[in-house]
């Protein structure tokens, strides 16, 4: 007794695959010539650069006029406070002593203020080794709390970058301190002074 012959599925599958492969170029050509059908573009990947050196992005890749000063130049200038150093080194920086104290100057950068006086409209933020240095109440900055001999460099970054948080309207100051790995050795400093005589009445 003879068995009935079955159709082999392999030739049928090959025929379907050939038809699919042949229809792909025609569909692609039709999509290219049809103006009503939208064209699928590859995704665009945007990588934002952060100006904080601690995050691994070099300061040279920041799209802005970043001004920097190394610690050696700060030591050579030997000024009273950081505000004086910024005024004598960076462009668009001005200082004034509204309180009559040279260690507590008001600093303006492109019209935006950084001041130790509570109630001032602060427009600059300051970071010390990546940590925010503005006081919690009033966003003021106390220049005399940072010894200049401990500074390895200062960067001033213009613009209202949201990465620096609130009140960064005109820019941010990034102050870096020295570490034992990068600055081996020791240094001894001594300061002196005399009391200011009171005016006789």
From CA 183, how far away is CA 29, in angstroms rounded?
Answer: 65
Burial of 142 (0-12, 13-18, 19+ CB in 10 A): middle
Tell me the torsion sign for CA atoms 69, 73, 74, 80: negative
Structure-token pair, residue 190: 């001594």
Question: What is each CA distance from 150 to 71, 74, 133, 142, 172, in whole angstroms?
Answer: 8, 10, 15, 16, 20
Residue-wise pLDDT for 36-77, tens only, equals 777 788 888 776 554 455 445 677 777 778 888 888 888 888
Q: Does pLDDT of 32 surpass 70?
A: no
Range 62-116+123-177 classified under CATH 2.170.130.10: yes
**Mean of the per-residue pLDDT values of the chain:** 77
pLDDT of res. 54: 45
Residue-wise pLDDT for 94-153, tens only, equals 988 877 777 788 899 988 998 888 888 888 999 998 888 888 888 888 888 888 888 888
pLDDT of res. 134: 86
Tell me the torsion sign for CA atoms 57, 60, 63, 64: positive
From CA 60, how far away is CA 125, in angstroms rounded?
Answer: 20
Chain-centre distance for alpha carbon 70: 18
From CA 45, how far away is CA 188, in angstroms rounded?
Answer: 51
Evaluate whether 125 touches 173 at the Cβ level (below 8 Å): yes
**φ, ψ of residue 82 in degrees (nearest 5):** -65, -35
pTM of the predicted model as reported, rounded to 2 decimal places: 0.61
DSSP, collapsed to helix, strand or coil, labels residue 88 as: helix
From CA 106, how far away is CA 115, in angstroms rounded?
Answer: 5
Buried b (16+ CB within 10 A) or exposed e, 41-61: eeeeeeeeeebbeeeeeebee
Q: Where are the domains of the chain?
A: 62-116+123-177
């Amino acid at each position: 007794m003879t068995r009935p012959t079955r159709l082999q599925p392999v030739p049928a599958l090959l025929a379907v695959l050939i038809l699919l492969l042949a229809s792909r170029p025609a569909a692609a050509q039709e999509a290219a010539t049809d103006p009503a059908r939208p064209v699928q573009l590859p995704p665009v990947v945007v990588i934002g650069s952060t100006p904080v050196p601690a995050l691994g992005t070099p300061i040279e890749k920041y799209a802005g006029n970043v001004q920097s000063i190394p610690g050696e130049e700060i030591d050579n200038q030997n000024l009273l406070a950081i505000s004086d150093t910024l005024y004598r080194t960076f462009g668009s920086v001005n200082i004034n002593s509204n309180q009559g104290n040279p260690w507590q100057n008001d600093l303006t950068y492109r019209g935006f203020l950084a001041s130790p006086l509570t109630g001032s409209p602060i427009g600059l933020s300051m970071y010390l080794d990546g940590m925010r240095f503005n006081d919690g109440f009033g966003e003021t900055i106390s220049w005399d709390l940072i010894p200049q001999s401990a500074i390895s460099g200062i960067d001033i970054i213009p613009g209202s970058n949201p990465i620096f948080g609130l009140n960064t309207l005109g820019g941010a100051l990034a102050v870096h301190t020295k570490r034992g790995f990068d600055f081996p050795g020791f240094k001894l400093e001594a300061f002196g002074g005399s009391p200011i005589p009171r005016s006789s009445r």
